[in-house]
Amino acid sequence: MDGPDPELLREDMLDGVEHAIGRAPLPAVREAMERVPRHEFVAEAPYANRSGEQGGSRVLSPATAARFLDALAPEPGADVLVVGVGVGYTAAVVAEIVGARRVHAVDIDRGMVREARDNLAAAGYEAVLVDYHDGADGLPRYAPFDRVLVEGAVVSPPRALCDQLRPDGRLVVPRGRGGDQEIVALTPDEAGVEPVETAGSVALRPLLAEGEQPGAPVRNRTEREDREFEQQGYFARTGWEQEWIDWDDR
């Protein structure tokens, strides 16, 4: 990276994070954010405390990432699943705390999976496993997890993610619709999951399901067929019903 020393830029970034959230992040989170070269993940103004778009994915601002990570409270040696890996920055910060081989990440956008792998490798975290997968299904072959971080809004936590938590585990999700979302940390109990901590409001896109990633066809069959029929026009040739057969002439 040309220009100012990245270490100094990260220190300035973390000063801005503290100002934005009104406190210092957890010591482990702050130390990890000091070490991760964010410029390997974010192309435009990587150390500015602002969100952005890259490769069709929402990039969390450093302050928002810190709030998610504080709520997650990862510990060394913990097994962590990141749902919605995006550019891979959050997974890298978690890897600094728990160890890269302990981090598993999924994304439903194949393009983002490739970008995250490239970014993580360039930053020295190639041991993080990044897989193409529907995040709502979790990653059962590597479960159970001590921590699960979801970077897509949900109304209620997907059952599969709850089931893949260890009994003393923690699931962090932005819960709610539209602009009415709150970062919530939940732990398992007999009824499912129980909120234990909130970390402020946020506005993220909904957690996608298979077929809803950018550029994919419409999932709903009726809606898709109605749209295609409208585009073709009423008299468009659509199939066998246009093949008029006069059986008397056969």
Give catalytic residues, as residue numbers.
Answer: 61
Residue 102 near residue 77, CB atoms below 8 Å:
yes
Residue 134: name the closest of 193, 192, 84, 68 by CA.
84
- C-alpha–C-alpha distance, residues 250 and 240, integer Å: 18
**Pair 185, 192: CB distance under 8 Å:** no
Strands 165-177, 129-132: pairing kind:
unpaired
Cα 49 to the center of its chain, rounded Å? 19
Which tokens in the block code for residue 84?
A: 């919605």
- Alpha-carbon span 163 to 179, nearest angstrom: 28
Sorted by sequence, the CB contacts under 8 Å of residue 225 that are 6+ apart come out as none
Local structure of residue 247 (DSSP, 8 states): G
- AA letter at 76: P
**180, 227, 230 from 238: Cα distances, Å:** 44, 13, 12
CA nearest 81: which of 32, 139, 136?
A: 139
Rounded CA separation 178/154 (Å): 10
